[in-house]
Amino acid sequence: MTSQALAILKGRYHNPATAPSKCTELAQFLEEVNASLSLAESALDDGVYLDAIEVLSKLVPCLDPGACSGLYAKVLWMRAQAFSHRRCLRDALGDVDLALELEPEHQPSLLLRARVRRKVGSHQAALSDLYCLQ
């Protein structure tokens, strides 16, 4: 390990030109993401699905699936729930499929996809998802 890496781990290395602003920006970004997720969860709980779709649709382009696939998948799963409740089944299936590409073992996404597939008449595919849940 280099001396610079060791210094970072020990907290002695600090680049004042970049560290504070990047940390501040990241903290603000995470606060905004959490606020958006809270709004979307409230909208889902209250049955105001269009509001949830709107909030989550604004959040999706702000996230990098390569940086945090779990968060991205969660946002897609939440939006898929809202789409499903609105009977926008194609949109729901698209979101949940992408969520499962990122997080293949996310059980809530598998269950949601099974339900959506059943609604569109893809019973064998729905059973396949349910089998994965066992």
Least confident of 8-17, 32-41, 84-93, 94-103: 8-17
Helix (H) or strand (E) holding 16: none
Say what the pLDDT of residue 74 is. Answer: 96
Residue 79 has pLDDT above 80, yes or no: yes
Q: Quote the DSSP letter at residue 105.
A: T
Share of the chain above pLDDT 90, in %: 73
Structure token digits, residue 110: 């598998």
Cβ neighbours of residue 59 under 8 Å, at least 6 residues apart? 33, 36, 37, 40, 75
Taking residues 24-43, what's their average pLDDT? 92
